[in-house]
Amino acid sequence: MAETSTPLGGKIVTKPFMVLAALAAMAGLLIIYRYLYGLGAVTNLSDGYPWGIWITYDVLVGTALGCGGYAMAVLVYIFNRWEYHPLVRSAVLTSVFGYTLAAVAIFLDIGRYWNGYNLFLPWHVNFNSVLVEVALCIAAYVLVLWLELTPTVLEGHPQSAKAQTNRDRLERWLPIIVALGILLPTMHQSSLGTLMIIAGHKLSPLWQTQLLPLFFLLSAIIMGYAVTVFESLLSSLAFRRPFETPLLARISGVMAWLVGLYLVLRFGDLAFRGELSLIFQGNLNSLMFLLENYLFLQALLILMSPGRRAHLRWLFVAAGCLLLAGSLYRFNAFLIGYNPGPGWSYFPALPEILITLGIVALELMGYLYFVKRYPVLPQVEHA
Amino acid sequence: MGLSRRDFLKTAVGGGIMLASNLTPAPAAAREPKARLPEAVGILYDATLCIGCKACMTACKEFNHLPPDHSHPGSLWDDPVDLSAKTYNIVKLYKQGTGKHKDQEVDGYSFIRRFCMHCVDPACTSACPVSALTKDPTTGVVRYNKDVCIGCRYCQIACPFNIPKFQWDTAFPQIKKCQLCDHRLIRGGYAACCEFCPNGASLFGPVQELRKEAQRRLALPPGSTAAFPLHRVDSGEFLYKTVARYQSYVYGEKDGGGSQVIILAGVPYTHLGLPTLPDESGASSSETLMHTLYKGMIGPYVLLGGLFYLVYTNTSKKDLP
């Protein structure tokens, strides 16, 4: 099978694109305000809750949603399942934007950004810090992702001979680029969980465990597959293309195994630490824990049945559940289950939310531009 | 599909082992708990001697050049309700029932001073990605260097006592915290809070001496009169006071790996807002996990090698359906 991808074509500046642009522009103005008057002027962050939605949503959830490229690369290049290859390009594209904008969000969030280069000076870097691993790994992975996207961009200029030679040259490096593209997310997605170990008693025992890195890694991979399914379904709907149903149904089988493994470990860990009773205390923590794991379980129940897996509607619900479940797990482990002591509370401020929305809008605009201009989505075979 | 079940299993098992060897915490490689520095200095705060005069707060503001902290819009004087980027040190009050009796849990009250504990194994220095927070190898003072700090605020997440504070209201913010009057130490002085404490509640000195002094106090019979050193443990100045009924526990001796600020009180420490911490420091459990996963970067390199091999063979095979 000669597998090819084509640009969708069509107008870039459409009505939805303009709405997204307006959201991004508003966020842009608020960002200028943030740099002039400090973080307190646009956020509800405090000394009790120093990390808010920019870290929890933009970085944690954003990069987990950006794990599509990673999850698909594992399936195709490691498990040699080339039948999934048609989905790789669009998965990498979502990853590129998810990760690049997470990096942008980090720059908005850090207070002394002009000192940021110190992270790359070995004599200042503290290799005991989990954050160093996360920061360096994410920085490196953003680079790798753009390299992974480059062949697509070069292919988009077929008339240029130079672009094609460069593309061939780059393809020779593909195995090492892909290997790095699998190693780096394995490292930093798990380390994102390790970040909270040092918070100790401030994080509820429902989430505080030495297995945090494993849970963050597993749920990131699960979210990676879910986002690939979700995105494939949505782009088929939005651009009126045929659905990739059999492929998606088979990925869903992989997801079912992973979600099952995750849940066994998650509850096994709670039982092992003797904290199961915390689940039924009727407070906010236990409710959020129940919601988080209900979503995982609901998705598992759908995905376990091969009949349901073949239905787009059920696939859509299951993928949606998993995306929500993984996101909620991250919010729980970093914000809702985090209690610095009496007297502190946090709910994001409006400008804080608007800036996050603007970042998401920018992400979508980038995606729309790329699928229309460059060969990202698989070519539709006309009957 | 050209992938045989055997190949698939081989890959899955191999990858699984590689991953597992990277992700399972092996306690065998645990990072050694940090020991107390022999020449460390610190503070012994005895809540039973504290009269709540806040002279330490005034002295702290003056010698650290800190602005007044107004807790509400109409306030004229410095009146912080908690530690902040403007307040490194605060005296708080515990009160229960009628609140009549000093250092008594029921129907009593107690003062409590809160400021940086200068931990033996600080979470903040372990968390800081750029070594902006460091522990002095001799005195053990935990210091901040604004010139390298990136403002990520991971120190605030990490600190079990919520000590590092951030300047939220400025475009060029810093982290602010007590540095045990480090700028006075290098000129032969000592912590201003102790120098200006009129009642011997805050006592400066070598941590080893302070720990002995704390044990001496716990051994004194309650109700008797005893000599309590003033300002510094070795000052030679004493006040004669009635010995209170202490909780038979020195907070900071082992809590969270121990600290160079140690506390004595008459009411249970949890009432005074001091967290119940395990003996193992947060820094130690975090670094143990991290160093197990990334020991000498061997795990990541082996994993990278394995991944490269698989990707390379699979791209050349390309088992397309």
ipTM > 0.85 for the complex: yes
- The CA distance from A351 to A29, in Å, is 10
> Smallest Cβ distance to B289: which of A83, A85, A197?
A197
Cβ atoms within 10 A of the Cβ of A37, count? 13
- What distance in Å separates residue B221's CA from the closest CA in chain A? 35
From the list A171, A92, A184, A198, the residue with the least C-alpha distance to A137 is: A184
Helical H segments across A130-173, by residue range: 130-155, 161-172
Give chain B's residues under pLDDT 70: 1-30, 317-321
- Token pair, residue B1, equals 């599909």
Nearest to A229 by CA among A296, A301, A167, A313: A313
Provide the number of structural domains found in chain A.
1
**What's the gap in Å between the CA of B143 and the closest CA on chain A?**
15
Contact B8 A186 (CB under 8 A): no
At A142 the pLDDT is: 95
With beta carbons less than 8 A apart as the criterion, state whether B265 and B47 touch: yes
In a domain? residue A383: no
Residue position matching structure tokens 């989505």 = A377
Determine the distance in angstroms separating the CA of A202 from the nearest CA of chain B, rounded to an integer: 7
Two tokens, residue B260:
């160079």
pLDDT of residue B24: 47
Our CA-based measurement puts residue A115 at a distance from the nearest CA of chain B, in whole angstroms, of 5
Helix (H) or strand (E) holding B134: strand B133-135
Nearest-neighbour CA in chain A from B224: distance (Å)? 37
Chain B residues near residue A119 by CB distance under 8 angstroms: 129-130, 150
Chain A residues touching residue B25 (CB < 8 angstroms):
210
Q: Which of B97, B94, B176, B193 is nearest to B142 (CA)?
A: B176
The tens digit of pLDDT for each residue in A228-241 reads 888 888 888 888 88
Which helix (H) or strand (E) segment holds residue B45: the answer is strand B41-46
Print the SS3 string covering A282-315. CCHHHHHHHHHHHHHHHHHHHHHCHHHHCCHHHH
Q: Exposed (0-12), middle (13-18) or buried (19+): which is A238, by Cβ within 10 Å?
A: exposed
Judged by DSSP in three states, B278 sits in coil
Residue B8: CB partners within 8 Å, gap ≥ 6?
Answer: A79, A80
Q: Do A119 and B150 touch (CB under 8 A)?
A: yes
Q: What is the pLDDT of residue A246?
A: 80
Put simply, the answer to whether B321 touches A83 (Cβ < 8 Å) is yes
Give Dmax over CA atoms of chain B in angstroms: 91
All residues of chain A having their beta carbon less than 8 Å from the beta carbon of residue B30 are: none
Q: Which residues of chain A have pLDDT under 70?
A: 1-3, 381-383
Supply the CATH classification number for the domain B41-280: 3.30.70.20
Interface test with A, best of B22, B153, B174, B274 (most A CBs within 10 A): B153
Cα-based distances in Å from A321 to A259, A291, A300: 11, 11, 9
The pair phi, psi for residue A211, each rounded to 5°, is -90, 5
Please report the pLDDT score of residue B115 as a whole number.
Answer: 97
Residue tagged 């460390």 (tokens): B40
What pLDDT is recorded for position B267? 96
pLDDT of residue B296: 75
**What is the per-residue pLDDT for B315?**
80
Provide the domain limits for residue A128: 5-378
Judge contact between B233 and B82, C-beta under 8 A: no
Distance (Å, whole) CA A215 – CA A196: 12
End-to-end CA distance of chain B: 5
Beta bridge partners of B143: B134
Tell if the CB–CB gap between B293 and A213 is shorter than 8 Å.
yes
Taking the mean position of all CA atoms in its chain, how far away is CA B112?
A: 16
Phi, psi of B84 (to 5 degrees): -155, -175
In angstroms, rounded to a whole number, what is the distance separating the alpha carbons of residues B238 and B85? 34
Instruction: Please tell me the predicted confidence (pLDDT) of residue B2.
Output: 43
Which residue type does A289 have? F
Question: Within a domain: residue A103?
Answer: yes
Minimum CA–CA partner of B270 in chain A? A341
Residues of B in contact with A176 (CB under 8 A): 308
Answer whether A113 sits within 8 Å of B151, measured CB to CB: yes
Read off the pLDDT of residues B51-93 as tens digits, 9 standing for 90 and up. 999 999 999 999 999 999 998 888 888 999 999 999 999 999 9
Q: Which residues of A touch B312 (CB under 8 A)?
A: 175
Question: Searching chain A, which residue's CA lies closest to the CA of residue B161?
Answer: A340
Q: Could you give the CA distance from residue A44 to residue B200 in angstroms, rounded to a whole number? A: 40
Total residues found in chain A within this entry: 383
Q: What is the CATH number of the domain that holds A63?
A: 1.20.1630.10
